[in-house]
Amino acid sequence: RYHYAKRFGIEASYRLSEQSIATTSTQNPVVRLLYVVVSLLLQNVWRYLHWEYVATPRRGGRRLWEWSFKEFINMVQRAAWTALATRRAVPANRPPDDRFTR
């Protein structure tokens, strides 16, 4: 029973890291390790914030409210876009003509 619970935690961690790890084609092991470390840090930050600020304390443990890891990753991505002032649209002097419609 103990080994199964430990194994389940490891597999759940891998499933979460697949949602947050950056894809790359580099063969450099340092860059690949950096991406894995950042992914694991994001998982730990999500778990801490979920436990500390989202969960409600009650007798017998905390009640965990719904806050998915995917939603957290989207929040981090939007914050990074805002902080880095990334443009998601290119301004144009005139509206696109009929060549761009299907």
Q: Give domain status of residue 3, yes or no.
A: no
Residue 74: domain span: 27-54+68-82
Q: Give domain status of residue 15, yes or no.
A: no
pTM: 0.63
Q: Give domain status of residue 35, yes or no.
A: yes
Q: Give domain status of residue 36, yes or no.
A: yes
Q: Give domain status of residue 87, yes or no.
A: no
The total number of structural domains that make up the chain: 1
To 10 degrees, the CA torsion angle through 11, 13, 15, 20? -160
pLDDT at 96: 67
Q: pLDDT truncated to tens, each residue of the chain (102 aa)?
A: 666 666 776 777 777 777 777 778 888 999 988 988 888 899 889 888 888 888 888 887 777 778 888 899 899 988 888 888 777 677 777 776 666 665
Q: Give domain status of residue 98, yes or no.
A: no
Q: Give domain status of residue 5, yes or no.
A: no
